[in-house]
Chains A and B, each alone.
Chain A
Amino acid sequence: MTPLPDSSHLFARSLLQYLDALYGFAWWLTHHREEIEDLVQETCLRALRSAHQFEPGTNLKAWLFSILEHEWLRRQRLAKREVQSDAYSADPQSEGREWAVEIDVIRAALRKDLDEGLRALSEEYRSAVLLFDLYGFSLKETAEILAVPDGTVKSRLSRGRQMLRDKLRAYGSGSSDAEM
C-alpha cells in the first residue's frame, strides 16, 4: 500500500478535528440525520479536493464552515426551496421593557427555550447568531462564511438577537405566541 504523504494525511486528519463542529452546525441547518451526514461528508471531501486553495495560517474552521454553508445553499437552490423572508417587526412595546427583568429571563432561560427560540429564527438570522455567538467566529469570518458583507452580518446579528430576546421573554411570561 502506498504510504500517505504527510501533507495530505495531516490535512485529512485536521478535518476530523472539526467534525463535531461541522456536524453541529449542519444540525442547525437541517434536522434530518442523513442530510446532516451527507452535508458534512461533502464538505470534508470538497475541502480535501480543494486543499491547495486553503491558505496555511488562516482559519481552517472558518474555511470549512464556509464550504458547508455554500454546499447547503447550493442544495437549497437545487431543491428550489424558497427561504421565507422574515416578517419580523420590532415590538414597539419592547422599548419600555424592564432591562433587569429581561436579563433575569435570559439567564434563567432553559436550553430547550434557547433551542426553540433559535430554531424559530429564519435561517439567515440563526446562522449569523450561531456563527458569531456560539461558534465564536469574528464578524469578518462570519461574513465570509455566509458570503455577505460585514454590514449585513451586523444587521442580522442585531435583528436575530432581538427576535431571540422577544421569544425568550414570551417563554418567560408563559406565552408561546411570540411572532418570529
Chain B
Amino acid sequence: MTVALKAVYTIWLRDVIRFYREKTRIVGMLGQPLLYLLIIGTGLSYSFRMPWAQGELSYLEFMYPGIIGMSVLFTSVFSAVSIVWDREFGFLREVLVAPVPRWSVAIGKALGGSTIAMLQASILILVAPFIGVKLGPAMVLKLLGMLFLIAFSLTSLGITVASRMETMEGFQMIMNFLVMPLFFLSGAMFPLRSVPPWMETLMRADPLTYGVDALRHIMYAGTPARELAVQFPLATDLAVVSGMSLIFITAGTLAFNKTE
C-alpha cells in the first residue's frame, strides 16, 4: 500500500513540477479565461439584460463563476489528455513498467491535474474585486475545496477518455465534442431557466452545471444575488459533483487497467 501511495505522490509531484516549469502554459491557460471574462463578459453585459436579475446581479457577476469553471474544465481535460503523449513517448511507459499498481497511476494523474486546475482557478479568484465580488477568507477556502472537487471529477473524465485514445489526432474531437459542449451547456454564460426544454435536459446532464452552480452558491452566499444566480440547492450540487468524481475516477482507473 505504501508503495502505491508513494507512486500516487510521485506522479502528482511530476505533474506539478512540470506545470511550474512551463511558464508559457500558465500564461496561456490564464489568458484564455481572462479574455472571455473581459471581452465576452463586458460585451454581453451591455446587450444581455437579464430581466430576471432585477438589477441585483450584473452579467459579469453572473458569468464570473462560470469562467472559473471553464478554466478548471480546460486545464483538467488538457492535463488528462497529456497522458496520451506520455504513454507514447515517455514517462508513462516508464511508470507502467514500474512495480506499482495501475490505479495508483490513474489517481496520481487525476490529483496532479486537479491541483494544477485549482492553482489556475485560484489566480482567477484574485480578479474578484475587479468584478465587484467581495470574498472573505472562509469563502475562498470553500471555493478552493469546491474547485478541487470539480477539477478532480473533470480530470478523471479526461483520463477515462484519454486512456482509449491512441494518438493525439483525436484531440480535436475531444475539444469539439466534449470540452466545448461541456462548457456551453454548463450554465456558465446563460442560465438554465431561459432555455428551451430540450436544452435544459442537456444542461442538467452536464456535470459542470452543478460545479458552476456550487461556485455561485459559495460566492454569493448571504446576498440577494444568490437566489437569482443559482438553480439547484447546494446539497444537490455537492452530491452530483462528488458522485461524478467517484464514477469518473473509477471508470478512469478501470480504463487504465485495460491498456495493454
Q: Do A and B bind each other?
A: no
What is the interface of chain B, defined by CB distance below 8 A to chain A? none
